[in-house]
Amino acid sequence: MGTGIPARHGGNLAASAAALGVSPGRLLDASASLAPLRFQVAWQAACAGAGLAGLRDYPDRDHHALRTAMAALHGLDPAWVLPGNGAAELFTWAARDAASAGSSALPTPGFADYGRALACWGGARTAWTLPLQWDGMFPQPLPEPPAAPVLWITNPHNPTGQLWSRAAIEPLLFGRRLVIVDEAFLPLVPGGESQSLIPLLAAHPNLVVIRSLTKLYGLAGLRLGYALADPDRLERWARWRDPWPVNGLAAALGVRLLQAPQRYRRHCAWVQDWSAREGAWLATRLAALQGPWGRLTPMPSAANYLLLQGATSLVPLREALERRHGILLRDCRSFEGLDGRWLRIGYQARRGNRRLLNALSRIG
């Protein structure tokens, strides 16, 4: 809310509802980029399966069943997997390794949580400036990074939605002490898995890949992600962290969602189809709108979100959508290198996307 410093993350539903004086259920949160929720039944079954005893007891500190299910998706031994309390917790431990390895090159504009994690350990950073114009021929080559010993890469990139090719990233693994690749949104991208760096892990002990389940399943409140890396590195991270970073309910639901790899892949295919369909539909209609803000330019995106560019500041438009229509968009001023002319929209189910377009038309 307001024109002050924007929130570092999207999805600030409770705070936005309190500021607007409404219940959270009245808001459409397009500031967060999540797949539509389809798993109420699985959620209820996992809760029932945990039972009172499962909730009373401490979780398995080794998360054996969860690590086994996660590893099976990628053809890895469970020792190569470390579940976390969302990807954000795992960035903190990746940053501890990064801070001891030297300066980190952070993509700009890019996800602010990498810098937050580095600051925990006093890690040095340098900007890896990305161009703000690109075409829609995905995957794309990655712009040349600075000569830093540590690289942070987001694939697909946040907030731009650019998909980088594995062929472009692989040469960057040589001669560097650590390369952290955030693939949180990759399972939502049609054909995205073919660009994953997971097949390169065995040959590159300096590589860390981080994934998120909460975006893929639309369960951001659950907080469940995982890191894939050399077992020695993950064992060290496990010694640093809290004893029970993943709660028993999250672990139980994670096992239930992942224990059948074919079902997981069917869900990924469904989400990818939804993302491609809604993205093309929404971008076409947004580009045709015109109002007091001028024209909106949806940038090409391979992910389940669109970065919008305006000719002038879009802050008044975002605030009008919040106050008058209860629709939250991501204020991109929290991304270094972007100003008030940029907004990010997370795709919604068709009903939500229509609500957004209708609100924009009424403001216009």
Classify each residue of 46-80 as buried b or exposed e, where b means 16 or more C-beta atoms within 10 Å of its C-beta: beeebeeebeeeebeeebebbbebbbbbbebebeb
What mean pLDDT value characterizes the chain? 92
- Tell me which fold the domain 13-31+264-363 belongs to: Aspartate Aminotransferase, domain 1 (3.90.1150)
The pLDDT of residue 51 is above 70: no
Contact 207, 182 (CB under 8 A): no
What are the residue boundaries of the structural domains of the chain, listed by start? 13-31+264-363, 40-261
**pLDDT band, residue 49 (cuts 50/70/90):** low
Model pTM score: 0.93
Pairing of strands 178-182, 294-298: unpaired
Contact 357, 285 (CB under 8 A): yes
- pLDDT, one tens digit per residue, over 114-136 is 999 999 999 999 999 999 999 99
- pLDDT, one tens digit per residue, over 304-356 is 999 999 999 999 999 999 999 999 999 999 899 999 999 999 999 999 999 99
| Listed residue (274, 347, 350) closest to 308, CA to CA | 347
The pLDDT of residue 2 is above 50: no
- How far apart are alpha carbons 300 and 163 in whole angstroms? 10
- pLDDT, one tens digit per residue, over 177-189 is 999 999 999 999 9
For residue 319, CA distances in Å to 294, 308, 345 come to: 16, 15, 14
Contact 23, 17 (CB under 8 A): yes
Contact 257, 217 (CB under 8 A): yes
- How far apart are alpha carbons 362 and 291 in whole angstroms? 9
Provide the pLDDT for residue 40.
Answer: 57
Least confident piece of the model among 165-174, 214-223, 345-354: 214-223
- CB count in 10 Å sphere of residue 165: 15
CATH architecture assigned to 40-261 = 3-Layer(aba) Sandwich (3.40)
- CB count in 10 Å sphere of residue 265: 13
Provide the pLDDT for residue 9.
Answer: 56
